[in-house]
Structure 1
Amino acid sequence: MDITTYWQQFKQSHPEVTTDEYEAFSLGAEDDLQQQDQLAKLVYDGIKTATTSAYDLYKQDETDPLPKFGEYGIILDGHHQPVCVTKTVVVETVPFLQVSAEHAYHEGEGSRTLEEWRKVHWDFFKREYQEENHEFNETLPCVCEVYEVVYR
């Protein structure tokens, strides 16, 4: 199903939603379709209710804005198909080393421990920063977002 049709179906079942503003996106590495599928399933199943991104890597323009409280997102799988609609309920920016164990748990991946979260995200952010010719370090800001699934 295409993204626009999926959004319209969501709005028909939620008449209280009057906005047509949403972002459709996949979670995980751009070149790892299997990871995108896995993360989309975790969101769909209600296990993954949070995500973290590197603040510095957001393009501070209209094409890739920072997440905002109350905004809607359409989670896509690795084949760019809509899986569910989320609504952002918390956004905070903290240094990498200050991301909490609670946030790591709500990311819903692996053992859900802070130790594993730090290892996986360190490797991920390091690669992402290298692609932009920058160096990642533990004091750089991370955007921690918490959301809830509002439509499946």
Structure 2
Amino acid sequence: METPPTDTSAAGLADNAPVDRSAAAGLWEAYRAARPELATDAEPPSVEQFGDHPELTDELLGLVIEGPKRATASLVAEFAAEGEPLPRVGSHWIACDSTGRPRAILRSTELRLAVIDEVDESFAYDEGEGDRTLAWWRDGHERYWRRATARLGFEWSPDLEIVLERFDVVWPAEIAD
């Protein structure tokens, strides 16, 4: 069984590079030109990175590009802290690697709010991380959210709301579902 990382602090973790918004806009325009029937968002998509440090960011993005990761989970408080609205079914977002380079456009297919104890085996499996079990998922995510809440200035609690999101990879064409 693969073991989640044991570090629960943000100390010693390098930062990701800022996202390249110009390159992300170019990727979005290429997708809009090729798939206008899907690229109907009223606003440009958010441009984001998985994880909170380069190693994790690139590992998670690799799972997206290679195929097993088709879900993600974020604290509602993370969206609030960034002044971002919660995702909507059908909305898009651009995933960047740790250098800030946009690598994939994702389209939300399912969303729900939950707390950690309401997450099921199916969702944990669809996240594609670790050994894909619920136990691994809960342990790894709690460790991540302890770092995230510390950065946001409050303490992790298992009753914090989580956005559970499933997605499809829609662009570039060579990695699309």
Q: Do they fold alike, i.e. is TM over 0.5?
A: yes
Residue 83 of structure 1 corresponds to which residue in structure 2?
103
Any idea what SS the aligned residue of 1:25 has? Answer: strand
Distance 1:18 1:137, change over 3 A: closer
For residues 9-54 of structure 1, what are the alpha-carbon distances to aligned partners after superposition, in whole Å with 9 as ceiling and x for unaligned? 111111213445211111001xx11211121121112211000011
The number of equivalent residue pairs is 149
1:147 aligns with 2:170: no
Residue 14 of structure 2 corresponds to which residue in structure 1?
none
The unaligned stretches of length 5 or more in structure 1 are none
In percent, how many aligned pairs have the same letter?
28
Q: Amino acid of the residue matched to residue 33 of structure 1?
A: P
Residue 27 of structure 2 corresponds to which residue in structure 1?
6
> After the TM superposition, which residues 14-53 of structure 1 pair with which residues of structure 2 at under 5 Å, given as runs?
14-16=35-37, 17-19=39-41, 21-29=44-52, 32-53=53-74
The unaligned stretches of length 5 or more in structure 2 are 1-21, 173-177
Q: Determine if contact 1:88/1:147 at 8 Å carries over to the other structure.
A: yes
Any idea what SS the aligned residue of 2:67 has? Answer: coil
Of residues 20-29 and 106-115 in structure 1, the stretch that sits farther from structure 2 once superposed is 20-29
Q: Structure 1 residue runs of 4+, over 4 Å off? A: none
Residue 56 of structure 1 corresponds to which residue in structure 2?
77
TM-score with structure 1 length normalisation? 0.90
Q: Determine if contact 1:93/1:143 at 8 Å carries over to the other structure.
A: yes
Structure showing the higher strand proportion among its residues: 1
Residue 127 of structure 1 corresponds to which residue in structure 2?
147
Over aligned residues, Cα RMSD in angstroms? Answer: 1.7
